[in-house]
């Protein structure tokens, strides 16, 4: 286990999502080489990593989980399908500006999903499941 790398990524995520985590009462639920999970009693944000050669953790994706139903969705799928946002294009634009994926996702979550998560309104799940 590469604990210093896990701690560094955990701290970076917390710095990117400060507003979201504090206003939603999110706390660190778990952290390992594959995922770092922040959440509350209603939902979780799951930061998925790939362990590369030499122990480097590379951020791969972000999922949101409804803890009541246990349904978990890729943030890109939610944004692309429900909000008709071209997430791939946004990620590429921010990458050109040297903004990390984690920071880009924090901005997208705050802009599009914050109120949904805050109100625990997961009615959109039906649209993605069907």
Distance CA 12, CA 17 (A): 9
Q: How many helices (H) and strands (E) does the chain have?
A: 7, 5
| Average pLDDT value over all residues in the chain | 90
Q: What is the count of structural domains for the chain?
A: 1
Render pLDDT for 83-123 as a digit per residue (tens, 0 to 9): 888 998 998 999 899 999 999 999 999 999 898 888 888 88
Domain containing residue 34:
3-129
Q: pTM for this one?
A: 0.90
Output the CA torsion sign for 36, 106, 80, 83: positive
């Amino acid at each position: 286990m590469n604990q210093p790398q896990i701690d560094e990524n955990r701290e970076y995520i917390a710095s990117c999502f400060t507003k979201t985590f504090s206003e939603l009462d999110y706390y660190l639920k778990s952290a390992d080489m594959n995922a770092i999970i922040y959440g509350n009693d209603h939902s979780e944000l799951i930061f998925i990593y790939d362990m590369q050669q030499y122990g480097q953790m590379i951020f791969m994706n972000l999922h949101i989980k409804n803890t009541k139903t246990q349904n978990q969705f890729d943030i890109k799928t939610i944004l692309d399908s429900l909000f008709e946002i071209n997430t791939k294009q946004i990620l590429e634009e921010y990458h050109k500006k040297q903004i990390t994926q984690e920071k880009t996702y924090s901005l997208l979550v705050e802009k599009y999903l914050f109120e949904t998560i805050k109100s625990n309104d997961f009615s959109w799940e039906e649209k993605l499941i069907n």
